[in-house]
Structure 1
Amino acid sequence: MRHWFLTLILWLAHAFCGPAYAEKAPASHVALVVGSGAYAGADALPNVLSETQAIATRFRELGYRVIYLQNPQRQDILRALAILRLMARDAQQVVFYLAGHGFMQDGRAYYVPVDAGGAARQARVGAALPVMLFARAVSERPRQKIIFFDACRSVFAVPEPSEAPPPLSWQAGLALAYASAPGTEAYDGRLGQSPFARAFLRHVGPQSPPLAELMRKVRLDVVQQTQGAQVPWFQSAMLIEAYLQRRPD
């Protein structure tokens, strides 16, 4: 029986119902960090937990309220998204960092929970989660939504149209930062971090540049680490300049 969900509920009960809550300013920045590495057999990703722990810590240092999931199953992620929606009700910016296995089908990226299979050749499309679902979960009001997808975008070769969810459209205020180009792999790396996570931690801090410039630095870093084998990709529909760190009011 996993205890993270009960711990999270107790933390939220204290945060939202405690006597001091009314005196605190609303959280303007929240983040969901998901690290999935406990896939079966050869699909296991040994670096994911150590790197996502460091990334969750970095977001906390930048002033975010953070939900961090280790090896969650599909339903765990969906429950966390429901909690995040409550936690972020007044947030100006929501950031997601998803590390694990992923794939593409019909031009859409999917994140693979540990109970949905492993690499693209094994994952069940109906059990995987489209990356746009994460943004949709916190799109009930205008806000900035940034998704970092540290997973492969290899093309899923066996279509399962009966299981595939309907496409979710782009929205204003959304940015997607992929660890790899369309149709390519994202490497797990060595020394406890993937190339993308290593570059992220190297360049994200209190003095980080705007998001688009930050991603250019991350892209160059990853390309240098992998000798051009992995090229991060960035797409944005932001309406204003976005920063990962909280800016002075």
Structure 2
Amino acid sequence: MILVARFYALIGVAMLLLGLPVIALPAMASERRVALVIGNSSYSNAPVLPNTVNDARDMAASLRKVGFEVVDGVNLDKRGMDQAVTRFARLAQDADAVMFYYAGHGFQFNGENYLVPVEARVEDEISVQYETTRLNDVLTALNFSKGVKIMVLDACRNNPFVSQLAKRQATRGFAVGSGLAPVARAQGMVIAYATQANDVAADGIGRNSPFTAALVREIEQPGLEVATMFRRVQKSVYDATGGRQTPELSLSLLGDFYLNREETDSDVWRRIRASDDPEAYRDFVQRYPASFFAVDARTRLDLIERRATEIRERDLLAREFAEREKALLERVERAETIRQQAATDLARRQSEPASAAPTVAQPNAATRPQAPAVGTVRPADVAAGAVRDKAERERLAQEVARRERELASLETEKRRLADERALLEQAMAARMGTLTMSGLAVQPSLSLNAPPPPAERSLTDRPAGVPAVVAPPAAAPRPQTARTQNPRAPSAATCSEILLRAQLGELTPQAKEQLQLCR
């Protein structure tokens, strides 16, 4: 057993070191919520209710969305209602929060409330006891939970059994009232009535009753404390019915409770406001289109998208200039290689010693002419060699001069390309006010401010003995107009962020001072 315990301990330590999730203890498990939802409409011995089934189904769907395990049923008879309450009571035993919702006929009899199954025939006291479901039985099921208990009753419709029971009131000692009687509240319980005690609620003409329609709508709002939520329901029902119906709330909670525990728009905005992820802002605008922060989210999204577009354009421009600069560098290297070779050949030609004058045999009048001696150079050959040597030297000198003119032309093209790039950078920076290409590592860089590549030699470096060749004057570089900048001024990227914060109203005193420098 000791070895097993050590083994699991080592696994836990390894998972912590690797950042993997560790299985939580049962005490740390998430909150467990259970709800019972019943909606009765198709009554056999009472008027059919038009929207109670819709009320129950919509309520069950809303509770499931906020984390409740729902036991639900519609058009239940007495046995069906008893089975639903029994199943709910078992699930409620270890639940942290429980809720009961009922839509249908209900009435009070001798100060006690009863819920009416769809097949019930309520004629006398005996049928009340054995054909209906006592609300106290549901309260008993709720009390199996040690957590928050919520009871919601949209059952205060006009009672069709009042007249039948009232006929027997003269001979029997019981009382029949309109609506539902007040329920004795217990600690940790919330009881919400569709209308005030002993009053009748409206069925409504839409899909839902006014009370359930308002309740479902408010449950969808995250971050509402239960008391605040029901107060908003009260106001909605009062306004929708023109003051004819006012829900009643009985609350006995020691702390706060939230039906919808999802993040509010304020919570989400606080979490994403400093993010640069556009998807976060798109999701926020989609989830909270009417939020107070939606305008800020759209502003931030627009700036991020503009920045992304500018970055793409900047990268495309950088690649284009990199390709052009690379091609220009290759041309410079080829021209420099050819010039160096021509200059070397010319230097070698000029460094060669002049050929000694050949000895020419003089004719003797006393002797007969003889054939020239072996190795003797004729004057015609000497003259031809000198002409050829001179022509070769002139050709090499012209080649060197032509290559130097080509290099000078390439230097001019380099300056023109650098000027074009600077103008495009300025235009792009003026459009966004933030982005320049100066931060990009573009290789090779042939800008005027960059050092020349190692392989490239200056045009004035000639081998010893090579005559200087006058090249056409290169075009003078255009004067660069330097803007006078405050040495304390922040960088363009910093100014961009400060301007963005200013639009969102998030400037600190230090940022406000920097904003003045940016301007």
Shared fold by TM > 0.5? Answer: yes
SS at match of 1:199: helix
SS at match of 1:137: helix
Distance change (3 Å), C-alpha of 1:91 and 1:236: same
Q: Amino acid of the residue matched to residue 48 of structure 2?
A: A
**2:104 and 2:157 in contact (8 A); partners too:** no
**1:135 and 1:145 in contact (8 A); partners too:** no
CA–CA distance in structure 2, aligned partners of residues 104 and 53 of structure 1? 25
SS at match of 2:79: helix
Distance change (3 Å), C-alpha of 1:37 and 1:75: same
Q: Amino acid of the residue matched to residue 125 of structure 1?
A: V
What is the CA-CA distance between 1:112 and the residue it aligns to? Answer: 1.5
1:96 counterpart (100, 122, 125): 100
SS at match of 1:125: helix
How many residues get paired? 223
Distance change (3 Å), C-alpha of 1:246 and 1:32: farther
**2:45 and 2:119 in contact (8 A); partners too:** no
1:95-124: CA deviations, max 9, x gaps?
Answer: 111000112234433221212248x99994
Corresponding residue for 1:115?
A: 119
What is the CA-CA distance between 1:247 and the residue it aligns to? Answer: 7.5
Q: Amino acid of the residue matched to residue 226 of structure 1?
A: T
What is the CA-CA distance between 1:133 and the residue it aligns to? Answer: 2.2
Corresponding residue for 1:13?
A: none
**1:135 and 1:174 in contact (8 A); partners too:** no
CA–CA distance in structure 2, aligned partners of residues 92 and 110 of structure 1? 27
Give the RMSD, CA atoms, in angstroms. 3.3
**1:26 and 1:90 in contact (8 A); partners too:** no
Q: Would you say 1:150 and 2:137 are equivalent positions?
A: no
Greater fraction of residues in helix: 2
2:89 counterpart (66, 75, 85): 85
In our comparison, the structure showing a higher alpha carbon Rg is: 2
Corresponding residue for 1:188?
A: 203
**1:223 and 1:231 in contact (8 A); partners too:** yes
| Stretches of structure 1 lacking an aligned partner (at least 5 in a row) | 1-22
Distance change (3 Å), C-alpha of 1:169 and 1:232: closer
CA–CA distance in structure 1, aligned partners of residues 249 and 183 of structure 2? 18
CA–CA distance in structure 1, aligned partners of residues 196 and 32 of structure 2? 31
CA–CA distance in structure 1, aligned partners of residues 100 and 237 of structure 2? 20
After superposing the two structures, state which structure 1 stretch, 121-130 or 183-192, moved more.
Answer: 121-130
**1:133 and 1:168 in contact (8 A); partners too:** no
SS at match of 2:198: coil
Q: Amino acid of the residue matched to residue 176 of structure 1?
A: I
Distance change (3 Å), C-alpha of 1:97 and 1:77: same
Q: Would you say 1:60 and 2:60 are equivalent positions?
A: no
What is the CA-CA distance between 1:67 and the residue it aligns to? Answer: 1.0
| Percent identical | 30
Q: Would you say 1:244 and 2:247 are equivalent positions?
A: no
Distance change (3 Å), C-alpha of 1:187 and 1:83: same
Q: Amino acid of the residue matched to residue 56 of structure 1?
A: A
1:232 counterpart (247, 255, 262): 247
Could you say which structure has the greater relative contact order, defined with CA pairs below 8 angstroms and 6 or more residues apart?
A: 1
| Stretches of structure 2 lacking an aligned partner (at least 5 in a row) | 1-25, 177-181, 264-519
CA–CA distance in structure 2, aligned partners of residues 233 and 131 of structure 1? 17
Distance change (3 Å), C-alpha of 1:227 and 1:64: same
**1:203 and 1:218 in contact (8 A); partners too:** yes
1:148-186: CA deviations, max 9, x gaps?
Answer: 100117685635768x9xx98542222110001112111
Question: Normalized against structure 1, the TM-score is what?
Answer: 0.77
Corresponding residue for 1:136?
A: 140
Distance change (3 Å), C-alpha of 1:204 and 1:26: closer
CA–CA distance in structure 2, aligned partners of residues 134 and 60 of structure 1? 20
CA–CA distance in structure 1, aligned partners of residues 46 and 33 of structure 2? 37
Runs of 4+ in structure 1 off by over 4 angstroms are 120-124, 153-157, 159-162
CA–CA distance in structure 2, aligned partners of residues 141 and 35 of structure 1? 23
Q: Amino acid of the residue matched to residue 58 of structure 2?
A: A
CA–CA distance in structure 1, aligned partners of residues 183 and 249 of structure 2? 18
Distance change (3 Å), C-alpha of 1:28 and 1:133: same
**1:36 and 1:49 in contact (8 A); partners too:** yes
